[in-house]
Structure 1
Amino acid sequence: MAKSKTDQKKQKRKAKKKQVKTSKSQQTAREKGWVHYEDARYYFHINNIDKALKFLNKAVKALPNEEDIFQLMGHIASSTGNELLELDAMSNLERIGKLPDDMKIEMVYKLLKFKKHKECKKKAGDVLENFTKLKIKDKKRIKEQIKSIQEYCLSMIRREEYEKNLNAMICRSNQPKQQSKPKPEPKPSTKDQTQKKALKPISQPPLSPKVPDIPITYKINEDTFFNTLLNPEPVGPEAYELALMSHEIRFAESFENLICLPSLIRVKSFWYQEETAKKVLKRFRGRALLSDEVGLGKTIEALIILTEYIKRGMVKTALILTPTPLVSQWKDEMKSKFNMDIPSTDDPGFKSASRTFWNEPFVIASINQAKSKKNYDMITSREYDMIIVDEAHHLKNRTTLNWKLVNSLKKRFILLLTATPVENNLMELYNLITLLKPGQLETATSFREKFMKSGDPTDPQNRTLLKDLLGQVMIRNTRALAGINIPPRFAQTIRIEPTKAEKEFYERLEALITSLNAKKKGRAKMVIKNLLAQAGSSPKAVESTLTRMLEKEDYLLDYEKEIRAVRNLCRTTLDTPKNMNLLKIIRATGEKIIVFVKYKGTIEHLAEFLEWNEISFSLFHGAMNNHQKDEAIEAFKDQNQILVTTEIGGEGRNLQFCSRMINYDLPWNPMKIEQRIGRIHRIGQENEVQIFNFCATGSIEDYILDILDKKINMFEMVIGEIDMILGRIRGEKEFSDIVYDIWVNSENKKDRKDSFANLGTRIKRAKTGYDKTRELDDKLFGDTYEL
């Protein structure tokens, strides 16, 4: 019977209610799933792994197809070393189509490690089938590895099947044959029983005799055996790669030994730096605040940790953030000491290729560039295995874009470097630790209640508890612990009055520069800056730049005549007052001296002068190959009195046998001056270091020295302190740019003098602030967080 319309409507309403109820139930389940996910994240960040996994499992059940869930599973697995869980995360990401290409390769290795040969063979086949589409590096080598793994797994599967069949046969042969149950015979009649009694009993057949054990003996052909050991045959690259892989897997299980150290041929690491790296790797799991005292080498510590992770295959992407003036320093350090040539925001082609630049696996960037509107979203949208932030005290305020940028970055490991974690308030420390390990110091409100005294934001209460919490993420080595005891250094400024010809040269050059600055309106900044710096070195250095300007048509129309006139004045004699002062020091000391210069033209000028005066010398500059450089250093050590070198002088080489140096010219960047001094004033130096600074009276270098020497006694500071001071006044501007702007924008000499005096006052104030911060940090931390 057909249903009535009323019944049909009731059935539809009932179905609709059921659908709504199911939808609401699913929505509620999803919401609960995300709550479980957030709970798992929280417990992971406070290092309660058991609870994190408990809530993560609930989230997986409620949200089986969400990428974020399995990404978190992977992070927990890698931080705890749970490789089975990591494999589970990879499998689920693959199931939902979100497994990155490099992880597909990693998954093959994991399956091989856990001897899941069938799964490994299948996965290797899938990878090889789609290999041309994979976006990975070193494809040729990896493809050969995957092929070898596939073949190995196939052989292991066959072996396992053979062993399984063999074991089954052995089991069957060892089992006694079960006799079939005899059928019940019919009950015999009385007649049959009588006949049976009359029959004789039949005897049982004799049992077969027991098979005796066959003795087995082994005999080794010793000649063949030892010949194989002593004269091994070479194997192919595939077997070699597999052997290396097995060693990497083995060493990756422990951080007792740093496998990167043998490759650090250009840097000498100290025991406390190596122990710091081990502690960060083993106990802190790659998240740490490195707060060593100034001059102990936090950069080296961070780069040892980064290199170790790279060697173990645990870091394949990294972002290094620094203040703008330190970008080139980090790039030079990584290239010269760690043999890593990494793109940076200081590179000439950075702006034209900025979008592709941020996709590079390793990047050194100024935090100013990283947080800009055009770059912020690109950087925060991708994932990094490691983040390193230098001068991390610039992140002390969580309301700033600096803090928000670092907090938003997706990172597995993070290192924050600063010698002054607290400058004004304990909340600055809370903000830094929260970037490393959210929840480590609980909420901001509870941190204030537990650890901050009312009335004094720098004096903590509950010090023991705070010490325990900080000790899980912070290392602060002191100079006393490191055992660094370097003899003092002394500096002497030698102001040189220029001759009449030199004065004319300086005046004509300055007139040319003023004209260029007025008409070019900033477009000639680099040329002007170079000319001013070269003038402080030697006329010979200026000559080469003027020659290049004449070759450019851009300058010929308006300036050709003046450029040629100034260039003619560059051809001075060797017996300049500057050279005479140099000769006086050389002959007075009779000791070995390093003479630092910036420009090749000045090197040629000095080489001619020293040769004319029969002074033995070696030259060291960037145009020489490594063999020539080694020979130059050896000749200086064993024979020659003088080493004339450019900024790279002796990088990575032991020059502590020399304790005298002359800054023939003076870089405008104080960090460059400090790097020169650091070539000889370092661990291993046994004598007092004497520094002579040359400058022409009234020159830019004269003003710079007046600020650095008279105002803040830079030459008596510890290596690294000058940068801590300048960082307080320069913001994102290079010190050399500050000097340049004062020089070219001053209307007259009085204006220039006042501007430099104002800069000196700012730097002196910054030094006072730094001294107070250092005292505060010593009071708060002291030697509490040493190794």
Structure 2
Amino acid sequence: MTNYTPQQARYFAEQVSLMRPQSSFESIASAMSGVKVDLNPHQVNAAMFAVKSPLSNGAILADEVGLGKTIEAGLVLAQYWAERRRKILLIVPASLRMQWRQELEDKFYIDSILMESKEFNQQRKSGVRNPFEVPNKVVICSYDFAARKSSEIKAISWDLVIMDEAHRLRNVYKTSNVTGNKLKGALRGRKKLLLTATPLQNNLMELYGLVSIIDDHVFGDAKTFREMYVSVRNTEIRNKNLQARLHAFCQRTLRSQVTEYVRYTNRIALLQEYTPSADEEKLYNFISEYLQTDKLYALPEGQRTLITMVLRKLLASSSFAISGTLNSLIDRLNNLLSGIESELDLDDYDAIDDLDDSFDDDILTADLVRDRDGIKKELAQLEEYATLAQSITQNSKGENLLTALQKGFEETEKLGGQRKAVIFTESRRTQDYLYNLLSNNGYAGQIVFLNGSNNDANSKRILNEWKKRHENDGRVSGSRTADLKASVVEEFRDRANILIGTEAAAEGINLQFCSLIVNYDLPWNPQRIEQRIGRCHRYGQKNDVVVINFLNRKNAADVRVYQLLDQKFRLFSGVFGSSDDVLGSIESGVDFEKRIAGIYQNCKTSDEITQEFDELQEEMSEAINEKMTQARQTILENFDEDVAARLKDCKASTVASMDTYTRWLYYFFLIHGAKQVEPLDQHRFRVEKDGKVKIYNLDWKSAEEAGDVFLRKDDQLYSDWLAEAKGTPLSTPMIEFNYSGESTRNIGFFNAHPQLEGMLSIDKLSYEGLGEEEHLVFTVICNDGTELDDDLVNRMLELPGTIVGDCPAETSEFADKRTTLLNLQQQQVEESNKQYYLEECDKLDAYSEDLKEGLKHDLKDLKKAITEKSKEFRSSTNLPLADMLAMKDDIDKMKKKRKAMERDINKREDEIDEMNEQLQAEIRDKLKGNSVLTHVMTLGFRLR
């Protein structure tokens, strides 16, 4: 067996657990150990930008759509998590909550909790004072819920707050923006990471708003910003000045800048038109007219808008979807006649919770006055509709799916893709109908389901078989939801050809192996469509993606919705689907969806539909402001050659750091008795424990391909061996390292310096102040005066070693060198902190100058008003004397106000300087850190 010493075990234990400076490549490498992420250089660059200064209050990551802002935020989050700073809040659109939860669980192995009304109230009932106070879990909630619970959020000292789709807060500078201002107040002083592809859409004030959420002390007040940057003629100088002020807060990478690292495929749209049968059209018209009735007893008044929207979606899905819901409406009316107020069963629509989160919190209330005759009349109507719906056994839309699917498979295979398709519907009953339809037409045994519950027998079988296959490889998480999705996706990838999914399938799964998407039911929310297509058309997709959409040509509103989504939003075709401009112009996908629902509900003629959609399309055109697009390019986008050079350097540094960290882990495990796997691979090793053998793998892709256990930091084996290495008392030995016997190692420096001997001391300098960081300091003296750098020390300690005696006594020369190196490391920490301090001083000085400039603008405006008023006075000789005297009195008052303002400006400027000094004093207090020196080991070494 190859020999290693306790000193080597301790050395590698220190290296793999060292808390490195947060903004270093080594810190990224450490945090990324044990996560399933492909690191692209632009993502590492963005993550390091976000954490570069411990004094900063945050950053805006504004990469174009499709560059992986979720991964960038995940890298930052993983670093905080690894450093045990785990009070982390994620505020996201309601529709993205599950996706974020799944990404954290699947890629980063970080647990989270969805904080919504049900969970919040349950926690309160169980005695929890503040349900947002959750140990060792990321808290995820929607914007609306966060605003409603702003007082509870404010009470927690969050380590990090991430806000996705943050452009919805860009109007926070307006007092009317209630949600934005509630969140800004609740999160003031917390470190924030804002994610948005469109930080600037229609107005430069939006930049002011977003930056003010991160830090109130960047620009002056809103009025001053408007005067300095919005109401100016020389936009070129304005843009350069803004770019200089924003460079420390906003990072934006373009798709055109990363094509060397990321390949993007196209989207190809196919349209499948269909014409409903006479009975289907009759049913549609009946229910549409019913929903437009002023008073409906079957729909609780508090939720009528929400339920009407859901019913229209189910009506457009299939006769089977609306048939089941009609029965629920009938049951409610029968209960009302019996004096019982009951809720509607809308579980057929998987996305109901996301919609419900965006509507008012009206509770279901019983009607105060019962109109039994009215209820009976409505009941008779619904029973008639239900009978008609049940009589329809075939849907024209479904029959057309068979044609569309064959057409899609042919196109996909022509483009090199697999014969796999994901079909999206908004109804579980439609899902059942499509399963039977396809099974009876040549696809039996090739279909899997994904919905909010997956309680069918086939899904249960798939889950049980998946658990059995993976019982020993660490993939079974114990969460039924997560494991079920993983099992269905694996079944779809390896055995099935078709996945029929409700909205649940659009959240938190990656289907890069599939390149055919069928929107059987088309949502009105463009963000939901993008989310659906993004399951397949994402990083890692090798083929062009075919998107099939269904359209009822006889429905004028359906036609206009499709035209808007396809032609105006450009969702279905192109290099990367919808443009950033368009998606960014929609403040909330649900709000847009409500607007579409309103047109369906309120328009009864084709002319009314045309007029409403024309107005909506005109509003969308106005929202896409060409001048602001140009301003965004000038202010936020960097086209110089430095971008490419920086990304290349970032890639090289990341790869080097990851390789080094992997080697440390590999040798750490070998030293503890793990066995090398043949052929030799520095990612794989075999461990025998309690009579069982496991092959661990440090590379997640290789682990999945080979069926190994992917090693994570929270693995008990890792924790146990780390504690053992750090808890073992160390002697001060002489170690002989065997280089000549290592045929697989060829280190040029050691070849040139055979028989190398000397002394090595390793100390750990721990600093706690602005943040926490640790540094290993190596003091090495070779007997022949040869210099060894840190990398060569690491290479030497990787060699097999044997203790052959005691280390010689430390010389005064060695002690002096050790003291010098430790002082130098201390100075480097202080120098880094000094740079952070100077950057903050520059920011605060610019902020103070903005405020002073604002005061001067007010005085300048007053002087201008006096000049204009005086000119008017001199030319008003024809006015009556009384009017002239009144005008002169106004001028005198204005001059008096000017003198008072001139006196006040000096006083106000002094106050601004005092405020600046107070803010800088607070920063200086943060700089007062403590350094602790720990001696790790001393040893003599001999290379043989």
Which category of TM-score, normalised to the shorter sequence, fits these structures?
A: 0.5 to 0.7
Using the TM superposition, name which of 706-715 and 250-259 deviates more. 250-259
Establish whether residue 420 from structure 1 lines up as the match of residue 420 from structure 2: no
CA contact (8 A) 2:66 2:539 kept: no
- Alignment match of 1:475 (pick from 246, 251, 256): 251
Cα distance in structure 2, aligned partners of 1:436 and 1:778: 22
Residue 837 (structure 2) aligns with: none
> How many angstroms does 1:291 deviate by?
1.6
TM-score, scaled to structure 2: 0.50
With normalisation by structure 1, the TM-score equals 0.59
- Per the alignment, residue 19 of structure 2 pairs with 251
Aligned match of 1:621: 450
State how 1:133-152 maps to structure 2 within 5 Å: none
Q: CA deviation at 1:735?
A: 2.1
The letter of the residue matching 1:568 is T
Corresponding residue of 1:662: 518
Aligned to 2:428: 600
Q: 1:272 aligns to what?
A: 42
1:450 touches 1:462 (CA, 8 Å); kept in 2? no
Question: How far 1:760 moved relative to its partner?
Answer: 2.4
Higher strand share: 2
User: Which residue identity is paired with 2:561?
Assistant: I
Look up the match of 2:603. 746
Alignment of 1:459-474 (within 5 A): 459-460=237-238, 470-474=246-250
Q: 1:760-779 to 2 correspondence within 5 Å?
A: 760-766=617-623, 768-769=624-625, 772-779=627-634
Q: Which residue identity does 1:668 align to in structure 2?
A: W
Give 3-state SS (helix, strand or coil) of 1:534's partner: helix
| Conserved? CA contact 2:201–2:584, under 8 Å | no
The residue correspondences of 1:51-450 to structure 2 (distance < 5 A) are: 250-251=18-19, 255=24, 256-258=26-28, 259-262=30-33, 264-265=35-36, 270-283=40-53, 287-316=58-87, 318-322=88-92, 326-338=93-105, 340-345=111-116, 359-361=132-134, 363-367=139-143, 370=146, 379-380=153-154, 382-393=156-167, 394-395=169-170, 398-400=173-175, 402=180, 405-406=183-184, 409-423=187-201, 428-429=206-207, 432-437=210-215, 439=217
Identify if the C-alpha distance between structure 1 residues 294 and 695 changes in structure 2 by more than 3 Å, giving closer, same or farther. same
Tell me how far apart the structure 2 counterparts of residues 723 and 543 of structure 1 sit (CA, whole Å): 39
What CA distance in whole angstroms lies between the structure 2 residues aligned with 1:449 and 1:575? 65
Contact kept in structure 2, 1:383 and 1:410, CA below 8 Å: no
Change (3 A) 1:490 1:594: same
Rg: which structure is higher?
A: 1
Higher relative contact order (CA 8 A, sep 6+): 2
Contact in 1 for aligned 2:250/2:636 (Cα 8 Å): no
Structure 1 residues 513 and 273: CA distance shift in structure 2, 3 A? same
List runs of 5+ in structure 1 lacking aligned partners.
1-221, 233-241
Q: In the aligned structure 1, how far is the partner of 2:621 from the partner of 2:206? A: 24
Structure 1 residues 751, 386: CA separation in 2 closer, same or farther (over 3 Å shift)? same
Q: Give the letter for the 2:598 counterpart.
A: D
Classify the secondary structure of the residue corresponding to 2:443: coil
Query: Counterparts of 2:596 and 2:43 in 1: how far apart (Å)?
Result: 36
Label 1:329 to 1:398 Cα distance change in 2 as closer, same or farther (>3 A): same
Residue 472 of structure 1, CA deviation: 3.1
> Secondary structure of the equivalent of 1:313?
coil
Distance in 2 (CA, whole Å) between partners of 1:583 and 1:395 is 45
Structure 1 residues 621 and 365: alpha-carbon distance in aligned structure 2, compared to 1, 3 A threshold: closer
Q: Which residue of the partner structure matches residue 715 of structure 1?
A: 572
Aligned 8 A contact 2:275 2:396 in 1: yes
Q: Does 1:567 align with 2:386?
A: yes
CA distance in 2, matches of 1:608, 1:435: 52
Cα separation, 2, equivalents of 1:708 and 1:772: 23
1:586 to 398, 405, 410: 405
Contact 1:397–1:403 (CA under 8 A) maintained in structure 2: yes
Work out the CA distance in 2 between the residues paired with 1:228 and 1:249.
19
Q: For residues 488 and 141 of structure 2, what CA distance do their matches in structure 1 show?
A: 35
Q: How many angstroms does 1:645 deviate by?
A: 2.7
Query: 1: CA distance between counterparts of 2:560 and 2:124?
Result: 39
**Coordinate RMSD, CA, aligned:** 4.3
Equivalent AA in structure 1 for residue 83 of structure 2:
R
Between 1:436-445 and 1:595-604, the stretch displaced more is: 436-445
Alignment of 1:686-725 (within 5 A): 686-696=542-552, 697-698=554-555, 701-716=558-573, 721=578, 725=582
Q: Secondary structure at the match of 1:594?
A: strand
**Structure 1 pair 710–518 and aligned structure 2 pair: CA distance change class (3 A):** farther
| TM-aligned CA deviation for residue 695 of structure 1 | 2.7
Deviation by residue 1:702-729 (Cα, 9 ceiling, x = unmatched)? 4421221233433236658567535545
Asked if the contact 1:327–1:365 (Cα under 8 Å) also holds between the matched residues in 2, the reply is: yes
Q: Counterpart of 2:600 in 1: which secondary structure?
A: helix
Superposed displacement of residue 246, structure 1: 8.3
**Structure 1 Cα separation of the partners of residues 117 and 620 of structure 2:** 26
Residues 425 and 457, structure 1, Cα contact 8 Å, conserved in 2: no
AA in 2 matched with 1:680? C
1:364: how far off? 4.3
TM-superposed CA distance for 1:309, in Å, is: 0.8
Instruction: Single out whichever of 569-578 and 626-635 deviates more from structure 2.
Output: 626-635
Relative to structure 1, the CA distance from residue 649 to residue 746 in structure 2 (aligned partners, 3 Å threshold; closer, same or farther) is same
Which residue in the other structure is 1:734 paired with?
591
Identity %: 27
Three-state SS of the structure 2 residue aligned to 1:756 is helix
The structure carrying a bigger helix percent of its residues is: 1
Partner of 2:635: 780
TM-aligned CA distance change 1:600 to 1:311, over 3 Å = same
> How many correspondences in the alignment?
542
1:674 — aligned with what?
530
Decide whether the 8 Å contact of 1:597 with 1:646 is kept in 2: yes
Is the Cα–Cα contact under 8 Å of residues 485 and 509 in structure 2 kept in the other structure?
no
Task: Give 3-state SS (helix, strand or coil) of 1:716's partner.
Answer: coil
Please give the alpha-carbon distance, in whole angstroms, between the structure 1 residues aligned to 2:582 and 2:558: 19
In the TM superposition, residue 405 of structure 1 has moved relative to its aligned partner by: 4.9
Distance 2:239 2:544 in 1: 44
